Amino acid sequence: MKNDFDLDVLYSLENNDLPTARSNAMNIIQTNMNGTKKSVVNRLIFDINKAKSSKEVCRIMWYTYLSGHGLGVIDSEWKRIYYGK
């Protein structure tokens, strides 16, 4: 993962309406997830499309950002879902 996430976009996700939050999240994924396993990217896209609120999209993207910077929780449910670890 390249992890050059635009932090301003991450901070604004929860304040956007749901379609805008989803669109912004997809743009982040498409431009920053090069080298990430296809199954992880597909799961992120699935979960973002399934999200019921912009706050949920924001949460998913912050967890992705933190995990990509080595700040994820070892053996967390989130890691097991996305990475199978």
Give a yes or no: residue 1 inside a domain.
Answer: no
Structural tokens at position 55: 């706050």
Residue 52 in this model has a pLDDT that exceeds 80: yes
Whether the model clears a pTM of 0.85, i.e. scores above it, the answer is no
Give a yes or no: residue 56 inside a domain.
Answer: yes
Work out the average pLDDT over 3-15: 82
Q: Report the length, in residues, of the chain.
A: 85
Number of domains in the chain: 1
Task: Please report the pLDDT score of residue 84 as a whole number.
Answer: 66
Domain ranges, residue 47: 7-83
Task: Please report the pLDDT score of residue 69 as a whole number.
Answer: 76
Task: Please report the pLDDT score of residue 18 as a whole number.
Answer: 96
Work out the average pLDDT over 28-54: 89
Task: Please report the pLDDT score of residue 65 as a whole number.
Answer: 87
Give a yes or no: residue 2 inside a domain.
Answer: no
Structural tokens at position 20: 């805008």
Average pLDDT of the chain is 84
